[in-house]
Amino acid sequence: MLANTPSPPYYAVIFSSVRTDDEAGYAATAQRMLDLAAVQPGFLGAESARNEIGITVSYWKDLDSIRQWKAHADHQIAQELGIKKWYSAYQVRICRVERAYTF
Amino acid sequence: MLANTPSPPYYAVIFSSVRTDDEAGYAATAQRMLDLAAVQPGFLGAESARNEIGITVSYWKDLDSIRQWKAHADHQIAQELGIKKWYSAYQVRICRVERAYTF
């Protein structure tokens, strides 16, 4: 589902990743993190797709909301497990959305 | 494959979409557009994934490079076909990448 975000400016976190073969706990944690992100202050929406690589983009009101979500205790644990078990590589890009249009 | 982008700042175009059932010409055109984008001035890389929705993020040196690619004649034709045939909905977000980190 596409995210229904407000008019810019707002912020986006582009998380692109390559998975390992380790499936244990991954899907449940990924879903829990999406559910948890969705109730954080400043969360505006998220979009996610995966085949050869995965791309999850979450949208936020401001940089402070992103900082707080990055530092959230449960999210910190998930980030550590991600590095240890689930991802062979990832990139995080913090962006300011300046313009948007929809069809 | 993850994109190997330089240090920020640079720009990202987040293209998220929902496909129709019309497959005719889609895969070939999508690939041709990626190949053509890759030789445009200011192109820095791209990442793409699709399952329920599709997300393609292309990275660019500056807003002017994005403008030129949007206006490219072959890309214009593909955009029109996209609206007519291949996409039931899409969103384009133009963003300034301010910070990035990698694992």
Is residue A3 in a domain?
Answer: no
B99 in contact with A, Cβ within 8 Å: yes
Closest CB from B3, B18, B96 relative to A2: B18
A96 vs B98: CB contact, 8 Å cut-off? yes
Tell me the CATH number at A88.
Answer: 3.30.70.100
Q: What is the largest CA-CA distance in chain A?
A: 40
**Token couple for A68:** 């707080």
User: Within a domain: residue A103?
Assistant: no
Contacts of A101 in chain B (CB under 8 A): 91-92
pLDDT at residue B103 greater than cutoff 90: no
Q: Could you read off the pLDDT of A35-57 as tens digits, one per residue?
A: 999 999 999 999 999 999 999 99
Domain-embedded: residue A5: no
Alpha carbon distances (Å) from B63 to A96, B51, B69:
13, 29, 10
Domain count, chain A: 1
pLDDT at residue number A78: 95
Contact criterion met (CB < 8 Å) for B91 and A83 = no
Q: pTM for the full model?
A: 0.96
Interface of A with B in 19-78 (CB under 8 A): 47-55, 57
Are B90 and A83 inside 8 Å of each other by CB? Answer: no
- Partner residue facing A49 (CB), from B50, B89, B100: B50
Q: Is residue A2 part of a domain?
A: no
Look up the ipTM and state it. 0.95
Structural domain includes residue A29: yes
Which range of residues forms the domain containing residue B18?
Answer: 10-97
The closest of A74, A75, A78 to A87, measured between CA atoms, is A78
For residue A83, the chain B residues in CB contact (below 8 A) are 103
pLDDT tens profile B27-60: 999 999 999 999 999 999 999 999 999 999 999 9
